[in-house]
């Protein structure tokens, strides 16, 4: 969730004058260390998350791990985002890590102390941070404004790319897969190496996406990020040549949503990449190359048919 909330979090701690350290970019060692402590059946993203925790254990006074449950009518997060604080405390109980958290629960249905909307949740950290509620509220509001501006600018950049010329591919996946240096970035680079412009489906107006996703699925789809990704497909599909679905194995929400996408998106070429993090890019490059060939053949066919 750093890729979704990073500006908010960093700006918040900066506004309070607090030092923070970030874990390094994901690499093989981080994945291996995370895999060593997590159950085998855990998803790739969870293993990477725990690898990052290991990398920070000796480098900070406390770990910042928000508890992100639901955003009311906008949807819920995968259960792992509720599990991470307790899971971390339990897995590393010998080290007794201090965990700084806030709890998001817009629906008010969760039995979690101090849970609520985002501002309420941030203010609840005041005591743990040794700050007054007023200081924390002001820092949150300043950080939120920065985060919204940064996301707006990011969306504008993506819009310009989508409106530009050339071959374009819509990348559909969780930010923490697409933006991850070990699993997502090599795929983006490989696509760019073929001269393709990559459009990130996450870069859409979130309120708009919450309406648009209903064109591809009924309102029972529970996960907020999945809804927004479907909204992103609706938003960009007329301006891209194909879709890449990027999923970390085994992801429950993605297994359902990817199926919806394949059924509902019509005849647009779709490349489905299911990554387990073990093979690096072996095999993936060949599949990307074949996918680009398919897009080129389609272009040639369309030109021939006038
Ligand atoms: S949504 Fe999927 S990839 Fe993300 S934490 Fe949940 S199971 Fe893992």
- Do residues 243 and 261 touch, judged by C-beta distance below 8 A? yes
3-class secondary structure, 152: helix
- What is the 176 CA–ligand 1 centroid distance (Å)? 9
SS3 content of the chain, % helix, strand, coil (to 5): 55, 10, 35
Give the pLDDT band (50/70/90) at residue 279: low
Is the bond into 250 cis (omega within 30 degrees of 0)?
yes
* pLDDT score for 299: 81
Nearest CA to ligand 1 atom 6: 78
Q: Give CA 89 to chain center in angstroms.
A: 23
Does any ligand 1 atom lie closer than 6 A to the CB of residue 31? no
Candidate from 77, 248, 258 with most ligand 1 atoms within 8 A of CB, to mutate: 248
| Residues carrying CATH 3.40.50.11900, the chain | 164-304
What is the enclosing helix (H) or strand (E) of 246? Answer: strand 242-248
CATH architecture observed for domain 164-304: 3-Layer(aba) Sandwich (3.40)
For residue range 139-198, list pLDDT tens digits in order.
Answer: 999 999 999 999 999 999 999 999 999 999 999 999 999 999 999 999 999 999 999 999
The reported pTM is 0.95
pLDDT digit string (tens) for 78-87?
Answer: 999 999 999 9
Q: Which ligand 1 atom is nearest residue 79's CA?
A: 6
Distances (CA, A) of 156 to 21, 97, 242: 29, 40, 21
Atom of ligand 1 nearest to the CA of 254: 2
């Amino acid at each position: 969730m750093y890729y979704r909330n990073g500006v908010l979090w960093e700006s918040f701690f900066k506004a309070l004058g607090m030092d923070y350290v970030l874990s390094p970019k994901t690499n093989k060692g981080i994945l291996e260390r995370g895999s060593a402590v997590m159950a085998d059946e855990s998803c790739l993203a969870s293993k990477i998350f725990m690898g990052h925790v290991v990398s920070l254990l000796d480098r900070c006074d406390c770990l910042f791990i928000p508890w992100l449950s639901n955003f009311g009518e906008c949807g819920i997060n995968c259960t792992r985002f509720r599990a991470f604080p307790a899971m971390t405390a339990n897995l590393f109980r010998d080290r007794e890590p201090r965990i700084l958290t806030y709890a998001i629960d817009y629906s008010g249905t969760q039995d979690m102390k101090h849970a609520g909307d985002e501002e309420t949740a941030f203010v609840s950290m005041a005591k743990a941070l040794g700050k007054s509620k007023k200081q924390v509220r002001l820092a949150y509001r300043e950080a939120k404004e920065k985060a919204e501006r940064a996301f707006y600018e990011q969306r504008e950049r993506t819009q310009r790319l989508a409106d530009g010329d050339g071959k374009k591919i819509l990348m559909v996946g969780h930010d923490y897969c697409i933006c991850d240096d070990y699993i997502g970035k090599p795929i983006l680079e490989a696509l760019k190496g073929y001269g393709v412009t990559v459009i990130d489906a996450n870069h859409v107006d979130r309120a708009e996406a919450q309406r648009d996703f209903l064109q591809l699925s009924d309102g029972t789809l529970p996960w907020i990020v999945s809804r927004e990704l479907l909204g992103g497909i609706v938003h960009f599909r007329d301006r891209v040549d194909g879709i890449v679905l990027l999923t970390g194995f085994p992801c429950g929400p993605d297994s359902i949503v990817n199926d919806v996408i394949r059924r509902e998106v019509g005849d647009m070429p779709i490349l489905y990449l299911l990554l387990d993090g073990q093979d690096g890019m072996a095999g993936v490059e060949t599949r990307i190359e074949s996918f680009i060939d398919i897009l080129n053949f389609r272009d040639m066919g369309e030109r021939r048919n006038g």
